[in-house]
Amino acid sequence: MYIIIVGAGNIGTPLIEIATRGGNEVVVIERDTEKAEEAASTFDCLVLNDDATEKQTLSDAGADRADALISTTDKDATNIMVCLLAKELQIPNIVSVVHNPEHMGIYRRIGVNTMENPQRLIAEYLYRAVKRPSIVDYMRVGDEAEVFEIAVDENAPLAGQTIQEAASEGYLGAGMLIVAIERDGTGDPITPRGNTVIEAGDLLTVYSAEGATPEVTDVFGHYEDH
């Protein structure tokens, strides 16, 4: 892919590393001279020390053949302007960081994919790690639903039951779905079916429409604070 990355700061720098390591053709636009020089000396990519809110800069970066543009600056106004220009230049895939949730509607109206402020996401992960240590990893889906990984304790009510039995007993509600099962630390997921037995020690990937609430995680044997 040909990717234009705007910003070589705290978010842009690891993104540049991932994109270049993945074998993509990457062009970076960074207004700050010191950051631009650092990126140019560190990564195998073209770096433009210029203003991405200028249409000519995006053209110089190869917007006419770019597959994607990702804007990562720390100012929503800059990111929005860059995205508007990218839309005008018909870059097919445009993604931006959003720092203020109130600006989400603007990005939606111009048809840009967004990612919430990474610092806030990190803060939520850290809080979750302390508040709900049984959750190995999670991802929010919409306002309430979550996909999360959780281990089955040996005292879990559904340990030893099939998925169908667990559902019949009410342990798996209508809004819950076991997506995958990892067993014995092999890393090879088991595709869950109605007759699949849930065993103690299994690492489950679970979808829950109401999120990973204590009431939901209780059935896996993790009786944390309600």
Both structure tokens of 19: 């994109």
Domains and CATH numbers, the chain: 2-115 (3.40.50.720), 132-220 (3.30.70.1450)
Cα distance between residue 7 and residue 27, in whole Å: 11
What pLDDT sits at residue 142? 67
- pLDDT tens for 141-195 read 767 788 888 889 988 999 999 999 999 988 888 888 898 999 887 667 888 999 9
10 Å Cβ neighbour count for 1? 12
pLDDT of residue 99: 84
pLDDT tens per residue across span 27-43: 999 999 999 999 999 99
* Cross-strand bridge partners of residue 177: 207
pLDDT, residue 114, reads: 76
